[in-house]
Amino acid sequence: MHKIMIAAACGAAALAAFGAMAQETTEVVITTGHLAAMDSNADGHVDRDEFKTFVNNQVGKLDKDADGAVSWSEAELGMDRNTFDALDANKNSSLSRSEVEAQSEKDFAAADRDGSGVLN
């Protein structure tokens, strides 16, 4: 198991994998089962592209009106308000893909503790 920082805006499927949403300062335990949910090529590792694809897919699931942003009303079933506010970098009360992608890059870097470019 790995303890990593996760602050990506993930939907219900991600919540099932992660068990909870976290803010930047909260650690979430990610098990091999969680990694398997993100490991699209089943090679036993999650690379940056797989992580990014997984996060983007979850954002797409949250964006019910397909306007390219996740409003609080779309996100509230999948995350708490503090997490939403922490991800909303420009404080416009919605999460853009760029806001989520910026945080997911930080999350991946923090999770890749050995600098190998993969999570395993």
Q: How would you classify residue 3: left for phi > 0, otherwise alpha for psi between -120 and 50, otherwise beta?
A: beta
Q: Tell me the two tokens of residue 36.
A: 């398997």
CA–CA dist 92, 81 (Å, integer):
14
Output the pTM of the full model.
Answer: 0.72
Q: Mean pLDDT in runs of 10 for the chain (120 residues)?
A: 40 38 48 85 92 89 93 90 92 94 88 89
